[in-house]
Amino acid sequence: MASVHLFSSPYFSSLSSNRSTYRSSSSLGLKSIQRSRKIKVPVCTAASVVFRNLEADDFRHPLDKQNTLILRAIPGLNELGKALLGTITEQVMLLENIGTSVLVSKNQLVDLHQLMVEAAQILNVEAPDLYVRQSPVPNAYTLAISGKKPFVVIHTSLVELLTKKELQAVLAHELGHLKCDHGVWLTFANVLTLGAYTVPGLGGLIAQRLEEQLFRWLRAAELTCDRAALLVAQDPKVVISVLMKLAGGCPSMADQLNVDAFLEQARSYDKASSSPVGWYIRNAQTRQLSHPLPVLRAREIDEWSRSQAYKSLLNRATQMNVVQKV
């Protein structure tokens, strides 16, 4: 699920470093929805628990921690990123969304607003602005630039594809990026990579190595944000269902998809890639991806949902009252 990319192959997003300002988290072409169709999302009236004192490191994936330390060790990364990303770029992104999307609020698409407010309360993070954008490509992404209030964008086709609980899991994934400061990191690093490619000689080599490290970090960061989605959904099958639908789902056959079968598919992938040749092919397949493969993400979230760390977080949480209409 960075500041412009959602689910990688499909899932959640944030401005990702793929040599483009925007990157769709899910590049699956699904049937375009009718423009005249009204977006109606039944709202969740209550969640099981809320994490009042939740910190990012409470659920951060070990690979995210490891790769974040590596990025922080790169001299001048933040400073150079800030210099390359100016106010003009920020304004272009902001005006693009304001001009072409619908801003969700207590007076506009109230049910979606409620889903975001509730997810933010559960994760103990400030709710960002939320925009809905017309697009046949299921996607969601987050933009966090220059310390300004971040915002999340979701596409109409994603609303059509998912149930209300699944949609809230996507919003929680995006909130995970903000909770862990992924958006700013990825935005800066993305621009730095683009800038390095313009440097003659070693510039391209530096950028290539940096890009590989950034993608490795982002794949790990996505695993962290899948955990944020689980903390809000509090049901691993909801998160896995989102991954499954983004990998190969459409509204007309969504009710025929089977989460258990998808998990079995993930286990078969692990088995097929366990040999030396399979391991090499698997690494070659994922090396240039900004997000982990959907089956691997499904396996990861299934395993974490059974872990003592997740159970301990639930034990620390407190009961959440019914969210009042805002």
Write out the catalytic residue numbers: 174
Q: Which uninterrupted H or E stretch holds 268?
A: helix 259-272
What are the CA-CA distances from residue 208 to residues 2, 70, 76, 201, 229 (Å)?
A: 19, 16, 17, 12, 31
Q: Which uninterrupted H or E stretch holds 133?
A: strand 129-133
Q: For the purposes of burial, counting CB atoms within 10 Å of the CB of 96, is it exposed (0-12), middle (13-18) or buried (19 or more)?
A: middle
Q: Which residues contact 6 (CB under 8 A, 6 or more apart)?
A: 12, 13, 24, 25, 26, 139, 140, 141, 170, 173, 174
CA 303 to chain centre: 19
- SS3 readout for 91-130: HHHHHHHHHHEEEEECCECHHHHHHHHHHHHHHCCCCCEE
Place of tokens 């070990």: 62
Contact indicator for 301, 295 with CB cutoff of 8 Å: no
Contact indicator for 41, 104 with CB cutoff of 8 Å: no
Place of tokens 């220059």: 146
